[in-house]
Amino acid sequence: MVHYNLKRITVVPTGKDFVDIVLSRTQRQTPTVIHKSYAINRIRQFYMRKVKYTQATFDEKLGTIIDEFPQLDDIHPFYGDLMNVLYDRDHYKLALGQLRTAKRLVEKICKDYVKLLKYGDSLYRCKQLKKAALGRMCTLMKRVGPSLAYLEQVRQHMARLPSIDPNTRTILICGYPNVGKSSFINKITRADVDVQPYAFTTKSLFVGHTDYKYLRWQVIDTPGILDHPLEDRNTIEMLSITALAHIRAAVLFFVDVSGSCGYSIAQQAALFNSIRPLFDNKPLLVVCSKIDLQSLESLPEEDRQLIMEMKKEASKCSGGIASEMMVEDDDCLLTMSTLTEEGVINVKNTACEKLLQHRVEGKMKSKKLEDVRNRIHVAMPRPRDTRERPPVIPAGVLEARAAAAPRAPRRLEKDLENENGGAGVYSANLRRRYILADESWKEDVVPEIADGHNIADFIDTDILKRLDELDREEHQREEGESEEEDMDDDEFRKLSPEEQEALAAIRLARRNIREEHRLKKTTADSRPMVPRKHDKDKRFTVSRMERHLSNLGIDPSAAAARARSKSRGRKRDRSLGYDEEAGVEAMDVEQPKSKKLRMKSRTRSQSRASMEVVPGEGFKDSAQKQQALALGKKAMKKRNKFARKGEADRTIVNLRPKHLFAGKRSTGKTDRR
């Protein structure tokens, strides 16, 4: 976990913006109206509050900036030296010191002017003292404007720095420029470092993460280093020196054996020897890169001798604290090519393994281990007698083992994972053990869910067979219909014209019946009722319904009466007779309306009684509803008597809106603003 989150530091405003923020907040958060007719004590308190609030706001803003910026003496030495290289330790401390001084002086100004305001004898004098206090505070903040601008630039740059944890498992890559460091980190992590065929493409530290043995590892790519004295190195090179000096990591020193980087092996060996003190007590690997251009065996004898000397020095550097358990010297020299990816995974695994052993050995030799051992008890079983009890294996199993031919060891999924990049890089093929009819189907991409439905619910293994049966059945049905309807030409000519017309009418009627039957099957019972005004053929009549029910042996009187009652209108009276041919009720227009019918029509249009209880109102009977209405009317009587506003009264919340009645408007600006 990273202990220093440099990306959440508050933005540092400029000196002018700082003053505007504080004065605007003072104006908004404190009272703004004062009159000379007020008591002098009230006037003093008014202006003292202004001065104190301004000082508190300055104190809060400056305190936030000072607290959020890291203190170089309290953080990890890696971050302390890194900030010294990037921003100059003295300049950084001086800027924060000026803010602390400004904070202290603002507090002193506040105390002095509050003391003077206690003895102010008029509104004018108190106002001038307040003005002087705020003016001195603002002048002081404008003087520290350059420090605020410098800290804002530092904040922006720190926010772009990678999040490096100096205490976690780390692999550090170093070497001359353009030797393949960035290409290697791009291969083993998800970092996207720019790679170009020229020197110093990488100008800052880049961080990537990889997995090995189910642990997360931090990989740091450093800028290239040249072989010259420490005081002559620039800021970019000092980033690499700082990382090598303070981070306890497995160091990979890259050597370009092909010479395409522009530096010979002798120059690279000289750089290795000059920065060798930075490798002490750290696992060190010498990695020969770009072997696709030139292999290690094809090098001249002098260059090969230099690389072997670097290998010996690497084995000595890897000694120190872990000298008793380190792996063989052969593992201190590795070869690889990022173009063909030969040896890339081997370099990563070897570096991780050496660093893991280094850290474990360091913890084993620490003083904390004894405290842990004292709390652990390992129980060892005691033998109860001297008899030996070997494992019992049936004879049949032994015979089967002896008869079975030796087979190759079984390759586990973990073996495949280690060979193909390790955890986090290797993805297991779960389709490999699918049992399918065709082996080529294993790599087919079939979605599990489509349009919100599970694909497995629609899979039918016999779908092709059923489709063939449906096609065969449809073909047979069409042939049967053609045999029924079609006639030979000779037989059709033998018919008279009247018979031919009758045959065509029969065929048409049969076709209509068949279509109507199909329509009924598709719509089922969801077909809507046909309104009477659209019943052009007069098929859906009351008389027809009576005849149909009578044929079924059902008394149709109740159904006919219900149908007639629903069809009776309010404005016109209809007779009780029916026209059998028309199929509808006959209308007697000339018959006058009786008084009884007029009263009946009028009562139907009246609303229900006010005291009638409707389900859902919450009253058990009319008496309870009447009592509740009376109580409500009585409660509103007093409010109505004093003409007070109620919930339903129309009201104007603000009679004089500020945007219409505040401020001065020039000529011609009386429109709504």
Does 95 share its domain with 45? yes
Does 348 share its domain with 331? yes
- Which residue, of 364, 383, 404, is where some domain finishes? 364
Give the structural domain span for 140.
Answer: 7-158
Per-residue CA distances from 261 to 244, 254, 256, 267 (Å): 22, 11, 7, 11
- Which residue, of 115, 131, 158, is where some domain finishes? 158
**Which residues touch 193 (CB under 8 Å, ≥6 apart)?**
182, 185, 186, 202, 206, 208, 221
Residue type, 555: D
Does 110 share its domain with 191? no
Does 184 share its domain with 70? no
CATH assignment at residue 344? 3.40.50.300
- For 425-462, b where at least 16 C-beta lie within 10 A, e where not — what string? bbeeeeeeeeeeeeeeeeeeeeeeeeeeeeeeeeeeee
Contact 174, 244 (CB under 8 A): yes
What total number of domains does the chain contain? 2
| Packing angle, helices 123-143 and 40-68, rounded to 10 | 10
Does 336 share its domain with 193? yes
Contact 304, 296 (CB under 8 A): yes
Report if residue 380 sits inside a domain.
no
For residue 232, the model assigns a pLDDT of 82
For residue 323, the model assigns a pLDDT of 44
Does 72 share its domain with 172? no
Report if residue 43 sits inside a domain.
yes
Report if residue 325 sits inside a domain.
yes
> Alpha-carbon Rg of the chain, whole angstroms?
49
Does 308 share its domain with 337? yes
Paired sense of beta strands 215-221 and 206-212, if any: antiparallel
Does 97 share its domain with 214? no
Neighbouring CB atoms inside 10 A of 241's CB total: 18
Report if residue 546 sits inside a domain.
no
Report if residue 127 sits inside a domain.
yes
Contact 283, 350 (CB under 8 A): no
Q: In 3D, which of 587, 562, 554 has the Cα closest to residue 572?
A: 587
CA dist 96 and 147 (Å) reads: 8
- Which residue, of 337, 364, 391, is where some domain finishes? 364
For residue 324, the model assigns a pLDDT of 43
> In order along the chain (673 residues), what is the average pLDDT of each group of 10 residues?
70 92 92 90 94 95 92 86 88 93 95 93 92 95 93 90 88 91 89 82 88 90 87 86 89 89 88 88 89 86 88 74 45 87 90 89 79 82 86 88 76 86 84 83 75 74 83 77 61 81 86 78 56 64 83 83 64 46 44 53 57 80 90 86 77 79 66 50
pLDDT 10s digits, 349-382: 999 999 998 888 888 777 777 777 788 888 888 8
Report if residue 558 sits inside a domain.
no
Helix, strand or coil, per DSSP, at residue 256:
strand
Neighbouring CB atoms inside 10 A of 520's CB total: 11
Report if residue 551 sits inside a domain.
no
Does 168 share its domain with 149? no
Residue type, 181: K
Alpha-helical runs (H) found in 448-594: 463-485, 489-494, 497-523, 542-551, 557-567
3-state DSSP helix/strand/coil percent for the chain, to nearest 5? Answer: 55, 5, 40
Q: Which residues pair with 253 in a beta bridge?
A: 174, 286
Does 136 share its domain with 258? no
Report if residue 369 sits inside a domain.
no
Q: In 3D, which of 59, 14, 20, 15 has the Cα closest to residue 153?
A: 14
- Residue 420 CA to chain centroid, in angstroms? 30
* DSSP one-letter code for 607: P
What tokens were used for 313?
Answer: 């020095």
Contact 560, 546 (CB under 8 A): yes
Does 150 share its domain with 228? no
Return the sign of the alpha-carbon dihedral for residues 162, 163, 165, 169: negative
Length of the chain: 673
Return the sign of the alpha-carbon dihedral for residues 238, 244, 246, 249: positive
The CB-based long-range contact list for 59-66 (8 Å cut-off, 24+ gap) reads: 59/103, 59/106, 59/107, 61/18, 61/21, 61/22, 62/99, 62/100, 62/102, 62/103, 62/106, 63/103, 64/10, 65/10, 65/12, 65/99, 65/151, 66/96, 66/99, 66/100, 66/103
Token look-up 């703004």 returns: 32
Q: Which residues pair with 453 in a beta bridge?
A: 450
CA dist 171 and 348 (Å) reads: 9
CATH assignment at residue 77? 1.20.120.1190
CA dist 331 and 342 (Å) reads: 16
pLDDT 10s digits, 27-71: 999 998 888 889 999 999 999 999 999 999 999 999 999 999 988
Does 143 share its domain with 277? no
